Amino acid sequence: MENNLNPQQKEAIETTEGPLLILAGAGAGKTKTITHRILNLIQKGTNPSSVLAITFTNKAAKEMRERVNKLLSDDKMINRPISIQERPFVSTFHALGVHIIKEQCARLDIPRQFTIYDRNDSKKAVKDAVESLSLDPKQYEPGIILNTISREKGNAVTNKAYREKVHDYFSNIVADVWDRYEATLRKEKSLDFDDLLLKTALLLKHDKEIRDYYNSVWKYVHVDEYQDTNTVQYEIVKLLCVNNKNLAVVGDIDQNIYSWRGATIHNILNFEKDYPEAKVILLEENYRSTQTILAAANAIIEKNTLRRKKTLFTKNVAGEKIEVTISYTEVDEARSIASKASDLIREGKDPSEIAVLYRANFQSRALEEAFLREKVPYQILGTRFFDRKEIRDVLSFIRAAINRDSSNDLVRIINIPPRGIGKATILKVISGQAATLGPSLREKVASFTKLLDRIKALAEKETPATLIKYIMQETGMETAFKNGTPDDQEKLENIRELVSVASQYGSVETLLENAALATDQDELERTNRAVKLMTVHASKGLEFDYVFITGLEEDLFPHKRMNENNVTQAAEEEERRLFYVAITRARKKVFLSYAQLRTIFGTQKVNTPSQFISDIDKDLIEETRELLSILSIDF
């Protein structure tokens, strides 16, 4: 075992049998602890393939997988070769769901190569369901209905169970839409993002043979970021450990910030109730941040009552004071941040090690304008590479070729580039009435069908990169974009980038899976050297040398929604946890800022500084004040 592990980490690593709760503060080396615990299990003779580790993001899973593989490759105590088949299974929750569903597709009556709906696919299908009920999508907003369906699936509720428990008018509308949405998914041999977890949980719950099988496959289960689990994820974990109870969960109550998407803090708070024999270990030594940053973080979070008491400490240097900047307007605030980021870069700091965090997405507009004005390179985390239209189009060609029942993909690409196939024709194609078309249209449809046949044949024998090159050329997309506008040429560059991305995957099936399961944080893998702009929620799990936290005003951060008159204690504590997450992203220095005036929804509002600023000891802070807007205008 490594000598640079602290006593608490060593205790967690050596506790291999039974339930274990590791409460790990920000920057306390939780990934190191999990990976070394896995190494220790294998050193003691555990078969690597019987170890499962689950986390939330592709980025975290990739990092953990690479660390585990390196530890196993470098270790001299393991005196037998470990093949790729014997590696521990390290995965996100959703990728685990895909794995189990594909292995058990026959039992679920789902084809192995099912299509995974993304949010846009689901929203369109829900809109179609609303319209099929002769309802107005403007009155019954598909996004709101989809959010309800998603939340219920996250609570492990099916459409049938939902219908039985609701009685009000709107909920009955949701139930009707949900039924039609499910019918569309079945018809198109597709699952949505939430189904990947719900179908897995229901299968494990109701099929004892399958449950026992996976309990025998994975004898040691690890779950990272346990505080972020929702009901269906909690059920999956519990069902995977029902026979052996060798469950190690790692989490931080103080970083529970996703209640709005179903995560419940009670899963981690009740762990000892669920597993009375559980051992609890606290990891409080921080290896990331300066003493100043940790002192501020501790002062912020200790005001919360819904938590297990722990105090982060570090052997790192005291570091620079936290800089608080008061600006007149949001425009001044943004200019100040861009200017300071520019100064840091001129001093030789890596732009990639600078992050600007905000509570609400609308704040990014003023920041973008300021960064453009200062000519500071920046990247906004929020637009996924796989969400770009041209990328979705290419992937839809593959999905439509492999799964001909996916009318969603068929409709998307039948006229890309334009083939002169109208809506009426498309409807006939989808409904199997292509034979009733006139000769000219029949020929166009037949030509398109043959193209899909060729793509399918190629997908079965060629690499993903080769397939995408073929699609670029044979569909006419390459020629159309090459001869088009500068925007078109940028789209062509993006598709060429997709070829590079695809070259990392061994099969088309894996590429499609990863594209469907990608998150915002995956964009960091494809970046240039630029300052990162993102919401605080998006920053979770990341770390930077220099962190700017903006908009620290009452009602913005902590956030208060316009329709909230009585903010609950739980909501207040989550906002405080969110600020704790923001401040602990920083290694070297934190910059806090607020504007005395901010325009929100067209109305200028006078602001009170956030309570979070006054919670920090004044000895840890240095304050600066920007000039008023009227003095900073260019003449």
Active site residues: 30-31, 224-225, 255, 585
- Report the distance separating Cα 184 and Cα 131, nearest Å: 13
* Other Cβ atoms closer than 10 A to 80: 6
∠ CA 253-258-261, nearest 5°, is 145
Query: What tokens does 498 get?
Result: 């997709």
Integer Cα distance of 591 and 371 in angstroms: 16
Helix (H) or strand (E) holding 620: none
Instruction: Report the alpha-carbon distance of residue 501 to residue 491 in Å, rounded.
Output: 15
Contact 57, 520 (CB under 8 A): no
Q: Which two tokens stand for residue 402?
A: 């492999």
Distance CA 352, CA 339 (A): 16
User: Helix or strand or coil: residue 565?
Assistant: coil
Q: What is the rounded distance in angstroms from the CA atom of residue 519 to the CA atom of residue 536?
A: 15
Cite the DSSP H helix spans in 322-363: 330-346
Query: Token pair 């499910």 is at which residue?
Result: 182
Q: Give CA–CA dist 520/482, Å, rounded.
A: 28
Instruction: Say if CB 89 and CB 52 are below 8 A apart.
Output: yes
Q: Looking at the DSSP assignment, which residues form a beta bridge with residue 285?
A: 313
Q: Give the separation between CA 475 and CA 495, rounded to whole angstroms.
A: 13
Cβ neighbours, 10 Å, residue 346? 8
Cβ partners under 8 Å of residue 118, min gap 6 = 193, 387, 516
Specify the 3-state DSSP secondary structure of 75.
Answer: coil
Residue 340 CA to residue 548 CA, distance in Å, equals: 10
Cα separation of the two ends of the chain: 65
Which residue do the tokens 């009318």 mark? 407
Distance of alpha carbon 430 from alpha carbon 344, whole angstroms: 57
Q: What does the DSSP 8-state code read for residue 226? A: G
The residues, any chain, with a CB within 8 Å of residue 83's CB and separated by 6 or more, are none
Q: What is the 3-state secondary structure (H, E, C) of 186-209?
A: HHCCEEECCHHHHHHHHHHHHCHH
Residue 234 CA: distances (Å) to CA of 37, 153, 197, 207: 22, 13, 10, 18
Q: Compute and round to an integer the Cα radius of gyration of the chain.
A: 26
C-alpha angle 225-230-235 in degrees, rounded to nearest 5: 100
**Helix 291-301 vs helix 569-583: crossing angle, to nearest 10:** 180
Q: What is the DSSP letter of 53?
A: E
- Asked if residues 116 and 191 have their Cβ atoms less than 8 Å apart, the reply is yes
DSSP-derived letter for residue 628 is: P
Dihedral sign, CA of 425, 429, 434, 439?
positive
